[in-house]
């Protein structure tokens, strides 16, 4: 995919009056926004060492990017304030820190009214269920994120029997689990997502980038496969509409408005959350917020509020929602 210019320099140089409180200058929508996909990282490797082995475009390039243009709260909050984002998730960035969540947890502790943590942990590590429980209690995280490709048989570690403990812990606490399955075996992953949704009803499962539908392959359904469509039966599965996905849809020359309206028609606006992917997507960030809002034109005000704020506020609860009530 052709990448574009990274963060506008004006965001990196503008003065912030207050980081702890929102200070909207020119909100782009007549309602507040909730960013469910913001990546934070700093250029302080002595305090927060990089682990960029999983970076998509290579560790050296990722580290150079982080050193030159760190995504600190100072930078991200200025962008949020510019477009009218009240608060959002800090999504652990595998490309800079892998499963070392210390920087994310530190800034969430400093700005709890604006950033809520979604961490990354090793799904099959026997220590992970206890770590997840501790982070829910002590760090008030909203959930955990897993990503990666399946093996040659189509088995994804985070959907395997070896990850049962972490799913059970998330179910006990009412935490969210965000998934980004990659590679040729995504259909198998989506089938397992359906099984996990039924097995762990107290987990809010969030599919990053709506599970990567490819409208160029299936134009009648805007890329939704049979496996995507089967998930409509599970109301604890949610779908994240992101800048990264919008880039893909635009590359496929599909109108964003047509795409989003179809998705809402299939799943319902109450199943959608929205995220900017700031810190990862190298685009005009403000411009893509406008793209997202423009693509929702024609939906009702209630539907727009659901996509851009209300659903996220229900799904991502600091510390989790607690045990399910029978």
In-domain check, residue 6: no
Give CA–CA dist 52/29, Å, rounded.
Answer: 36
State which residues form the domain around 234. 18-315
In-domain check, residue 4: no
Q: Determine contact, residues 312/36, Cβ cutoff 8 Å.
A: yes
Residues 6+ apart with CB under 8 A from 255: none
Judged by DSSP in three states, 209 sits in: helix
Q: Determine contact, residues 301/25, Cβ cutoff 8 Å.
A: no
In-domain check, residue 37: yes
In-domain check, residue 3: no
Using the predicted structure, report yes or no on whether residue 26 has a pLDDT greater than 80. Answer: no
Give CA–CA dist 27/67, Å, rounded.
Answer: 30
Whole-model pTM: value is 0.90
In-domain check, residue 296: yes
Q: How does pLDDT run across 69-84, given as a tens digit for each residue? A: 999 999 999 999 999 9
Give CA–CA dist 57/67, Å, rounded.
Answer: 16
In-domain check, residue 9: no
Give CA–CA dist 248/232, Å, rounded.
Answer: 23
In-domain check, residue 157: yes
Residue 324: pLDDT band (50, 70, 90) is confident
Q: How does pLDDT run across 243-259, given as a tens digit for each residue? A: 999 999 999 999 999 99
Q: How many domains does the chain have?
A: 1
CATH (domain of 153): 3.20.20.140
In-domain check, residue 198: yes
């Amino acid at each position: 995919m052709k990448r574009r210019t990274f963060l506008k320099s004006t965001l990196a140089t503008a003065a912030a009056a207050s980081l702890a409180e929102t200070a909207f200058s020119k909100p782009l929508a007549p309602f507040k926004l909730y960013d469910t996909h913001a990546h934070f990282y700093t250029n302080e490797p002595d305090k927060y060492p990089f682990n960029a082995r999983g970076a998509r475009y290579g560790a050296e390039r990722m580290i150079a990017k982080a050193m030159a243009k760190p995504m600190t709260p100072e930078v991200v909050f200025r962008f949020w304030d510019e477009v009218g984002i009240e608060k959002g998730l800090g999504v652990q960035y595998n490309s800079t820190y892998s499963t070392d969540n210390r920087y994310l947890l530190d800034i969430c502790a400093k700005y709890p009214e604006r950033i809520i943590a979604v961490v990354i942990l090793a799904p099959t590590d026997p220590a992970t269920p206890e770590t997840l429980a501790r982070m829910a209690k002590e760090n008030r995280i909203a959930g955990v994120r897993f990503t990666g490709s399946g093996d040659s048989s189509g088995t994804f570690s985070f959907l395997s029997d070896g990850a049962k403990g972490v799913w059970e812990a998330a179910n006990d606490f009412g935490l969210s689990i965000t998934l980004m399955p990659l590679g040729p075996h995504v259909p198998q992953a989506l089938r397992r997502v359906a099984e996990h949704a039924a097995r762990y009803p107290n987990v809010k499962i969030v599919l990053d980038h709506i599970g990567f539908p490819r409208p160029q392959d299936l134009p009648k359904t805007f890329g939704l496969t049979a496996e995507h469509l089967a998930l409509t039966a599970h109301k604890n599965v949610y779908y994240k509409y992101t800048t990264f996905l919008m880039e893909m849809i635009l590359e496929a020359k599909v109108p964003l408005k047509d795409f989003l309206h179809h998705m809402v028609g299939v799943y319902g606006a109450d199943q959608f959350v929205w995220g900017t992917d700031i810190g990862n997507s190298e685009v005009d960030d403000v411009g893509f917020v406008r793209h997202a809002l423009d693509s929702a034109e024609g939906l009702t005000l209630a539907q727009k509020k659901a996509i851009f704020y209300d659903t996220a506020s229900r799904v991502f609860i600091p510390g989790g929602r607690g045990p399910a009530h029978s």
